[in-house]
Structure 1
């Protein structure tokens, strides 16, 4: 008998493991399959709060974890990508999105034909065959979703079968009767269990498994569910510990929202159970739990939405102090970048990639500004501008280090083949931008040498230099924009400009040598002129490299990373 009990325990633990792993695999497959669509959802966060709720709901429905969504929100707030008002909407939406898992689990209550457990072995087989025998990345992602879905329900079946022999046991009935009589204990139980496994979807799934065996009553299940909603805040609170004030406030908003909702619903349900005791003692099915879970989260969102700014105000009181804006932060652009590249966004590879692209663009635009400054130092013979180029170049070098280290972390995430290719190209892009910055620094040094030697260019030389400088500047700016937007049209424009710069550099070199031979230019100034146009030509080469990475991704059918 003792051995049989151990076997049942093993079955339940194994079923729980499969359930959790299946949820993870299915969510992972859904994230990969969603591709660029998930990334583009972020752009809607700058819209109104209703849109933020919708985005929070959709993102959580895909990644199957409100905790993960909220942790990302804490990261985005801490990095300055979202403000607290926008974060409130996403957090509210995350609570609605997490109910999807409960509805998936409750499908088991519908007849054998509609019961996913009936199809789970077939889906597992199809998914395995798809992954093993297809080369298409999209088809493999579909296979991953099918396998995750199947394992989830096979695990659910294992748990349910393990509990069935004990559903008439007085242990369960006494436990749930006691929890029903003590709502605070029931809420605490739900909170602790959810905090331990760090997933309200999983803890609700376990409760639904017990409900399927007819051992859960309404009075206990309702308060346990309320506790589960509070317990899911623990992950975000832990994430907020190492963040700035606004990051901490985002996690406090999540906790405040769920606690206020649990208190309001708890009081209402407690009164209703006093009025209708028979209802409270009646058995609750897994479908009932799904309905209550959904109604609770939607109602809380509707009721508290008008008070969203009050939640922000409460978080400010609980986490006092003023958060520095990015403009008020001390230090260089590289330090600001390091703050924005918050490790919490690594929780979702798609958002992590989108964040890196945004920061690579920041580095690219800084390099464009430095090139513009270096060219001004030449045309205006201004050594002070050359000094500014040196200062900014140090910052650009620091950005390269920060981005490279972050890309190494992104590369270690669960990525598709296409995303791995994008990460590789981003490594190359960062290197090309840094090399373009080095050439801008070279031009600044040549400008200083020209001024120090009291040199000058002929009128024709200045006109030529202005022409090739404008085209080089344009090629680098458009290359950075093509990486930022994923635009193939922009990438093609860079190739045309690069060819023009190559041709101009060759023609200008020949004309300048002729001017030197006729004594129309000073020899020292002539050498500096040739060195400047050579650096400009190399900058355009790096620009076309950046654009070609974008083109290669498009030709390979890899979804563009848009911000």
Structure 2
């Protein structure tokens, strides 16, 4: 029995990790393109649902799509009804992924492993290496499913195990809850569904129990995004809450139907495994089809369950504890916490500043200036705190750490200053002069802003976790953003040569806005340099070509 549990646990762990491997590879290779695609699909809800479906299949995660969409909604790039349509499509895409991954083709495993390893080890470009990572992850998914099949084979010979598992067939509500909890714990409804369907295919689970657990995985998958966005903006939470009620409530209703209504499920397929996986797909497809025409109404109703939090600035207490100065490691950690607050304030300013170009608001502009004043104040406090720390006897590592924190704080303050002074002033000029960007120019600025915002959020993640891979990507993005900015400047000049009146009227504002955003990106990219210098990933003049 112990050996059986170890084999099951090992196969499940490999499955969870392999699904994550594919998702992270896709995010690292194509995250910018996927973000732009999702945001540009907001023209109508049908296109939005289709984009959500495709992106979810590529990422193998509807939760990842939900987090992207919630970020878009928080900064006003996507309306709540459109965001809900994207997530409904993503749920269908997640179900389709499970269908594809359950196709058993043993010859694919060695082929994917050979190709994936060759691309990852020999590829010179980051995207090529990450494609190799994706192929290796797909191969390991198939391997883990084969391990599950082999591990569960002895169950058919154990009467005690069969009696224990048959209990779930009689208590569908318990199976539903177990499925939801498991999907939430592993943070992947795809991995949970693959596990449950494989178990029922081997006869280790009763058909009704497997169906209830798969439906529970839908609730658990929706819960993941709900928990991760508890502190998000109300617009973002409205989308996630609406999806949770639709997907979780719909799944619970179907379980009730399975429990109390006699239904012939043979139309879903001939085998228990086929019926279970097809039920998962049909449930999400029907839910999307029924809810899509009413996303506006559903979004309004969801707003009633989302309370806008009231900011309490008086509750914020500085982490710069003077008593910690006698313990340098604690003092540096305290300074790092305050720097995180600086970074989060600048992120808020960046989001709010972009909205001013569409609709000028004196209140929003003043809020940006207030945040800038708070950032400058925090920067001054960090400098004085680290200066006081340097008066103590410190080792070389601590002195270096204090200097790096001081420089990073200065970079964050510089980003705040350029947003509060330059970006706000550019938006104000647009409003006072009654100007509008050309349609193409506005699209370019929105796309560039989204790219910079993604890098700012990556920088905050690097500040918290200090992962070398993320730091490498952050620094690499600095060069990419510079190249994109130059490309957009050239496109703008071509529009000027063509005599487009809107481009001529807003020429200086357009070019200066791009420069401001590039400066903000550069300031946050500096977060990655100390980490890469420590790991030896930096050459004297550029990023080294070391493998990821």
Q: TM-score range by the shorter chain?
A: 0.5 to 0.7
| d(CA) in 2 for partners of 1:364, 1:271 | 64
Q: Aligned-pair distance for 1:302? A: 1.0
Is the 2:109–2:139 Cα contact (8 Å) retained in structure 1? yes
Is 1:96 equivalent to 2:83 in the alignment? no
Kindly tell me: are residues 404 and 86 of structure 1, through their superposed partners in 2, closer, same or farther at Cα, counting changes over 3 Å?
A: closer
Q: Aligned-pair distance for 1:13? A: 2.1
Aligned ranges 1:440-479 → 2 under 5 Å: none
Of 20, 27, 37, the match for 1:24: 20
Is 1:221 equivalent to 2:210 in the alignment? yes
Is 1:483 equivalent to 2:485 in the alignment? yes
Is the 2:222–2:248 Cα contact (8 Å) retained in structure 1? no
Kindly tell me: are residues 152 and 368 of structure 1, through their superposed partners in 2, closer, same or farther at Cα, counting changes over 3 Å?
A: same
Of 364, 367, 385, the match for 1:332: 367
Of 11, 19, 33, the match for 1:15: 11
Q: Aligned-pair distance for 1:299? A: 0.6
- Report the aligned-residue RMSD: 4.4
TM-score by length of 2: 0.61
Q: Aligned-pair distance for 1:53? A: 0.9
Where does the alignment leave 5 or more consecutive residues of structure 1 unmatched?
109-114, 339-356, 374-401, 430-478, 495-535, 551-563
Q: Aligned-pair distance for 1:276? A: 4.8
Of 257, 273, 286, the match for 1:286: 273
| d(CA) in 2 for partners of 1:270, 1:545 | 56
| d(CA) in 1 for partners of 2:471, 2:89 | 27
Q: Aligned-pair distance for 1:296? A: 0.8
Aligned ranges 1:423-438 → 2 under 5 Å: 423-424=478-479
Is 1:38 equivalent to 2:34 in the alignment? yes
Is 1:119 equivalent to 2:111 in the alignment? no
Q: Aligned-pair distance for 1:92? A: 0.6
Q: Which residue of structure 2 aligns with residue 187 of structure 1?
A: 176
User: Which has the higher Rg, Structure 1 or Structure 2?
Assistant: 1
Is the 2:84–2:242 Cα contact (8 Å) retained in structure 1? yes
Of 282, 293, 298, the match for 1:311: 298
Kindly tell me: are residues 141 and 486 of structure 1, through their superposed partners in 2, closer, same or farther at Cα, counting changes over 3 Å?
A: farther
Q: Aligned-pair distance for 1:210? A: 0.5
Q: Aligned-pair distance for 1:41? A: 0.8
Q: Aligned-pair distance for 1:257? A: 0.9
Q: Which residue of structure 1 aligns with residue 75 of structure 2?
A: 79
Is the 2:99–2:277 Cα contact (8 Å) retained in structure 1? yes
Q: Which residue of structure 1 aligns with residue 199 of structure 2?
A: 210
Is the 1:216–1:283 Cα contact (8 Å) retained in structure 2? no
More relative contact order, 1 or 2 (CA 8 Å, 6+ apart): 1
Kindly tell me: are residues 259 and 7 of structure 1, through their superposed partners in 2, closer, same or farther at Cα, counting changes over 3 Å?
A: closer
Kindly tell me: are residues 230 and 38 of structure 1, through their superposed partners in 2, closer, same or farther at Cα, counting changes over 3 Å?
A: same
Is the 1:192–1:231 Cα contact (8 Å) retained in structure 2? yes
Kindly tell me: are residues 300 and 543 of structure 1, through their superposed partners in 2, closer, same or farther at Cα, counting changes over 3 Å?
A: closer
| Secondary structure at the counterpart of residue 135 of structure 1 | coil
Kindly tell me: are residues 268 and 34 of structure 1, through their superposed partners in 2, closer, same or farther at Cα, counting changes over 3 Å?
A: same
Where does the alignment leave 5 or more consecutive residues of structure 2 unmatched?
312-351, 356-360, 374-414, 432-452, 497-507, 523-548
Kindly tell me: are residues 9 and 488 of structure 1, through their superposed partners in 2, closer, same or farther at Cα, counting changes over 3 Å?
A: farther
Deviations 1:398-440 (A, max 9, x none): xxxx9996563366675697874223565xx7xxxxxxxxxxx
Q: Aligned-pair distance for 1:11? A: 2.6
How many residue pairs align between the two structures? 392
TM-score by length of 1: 0.59
Q: Which residue of structure 1 aligns with residue 190 of structure 2?
A: 201
Q: Aligned-pair distance for 1:97? A: 1.3
| d(CA) in 2 for partners of 1:60, 1:360 | 36
| d(CA) in 2 for partners of 1:337, 1:28 | 34
Kindly tell me: are residues 163 and 410 of structure 1, through their superposed partners in 2, closer, same or farther at Cα, counting changes over 3 Å?
A: same
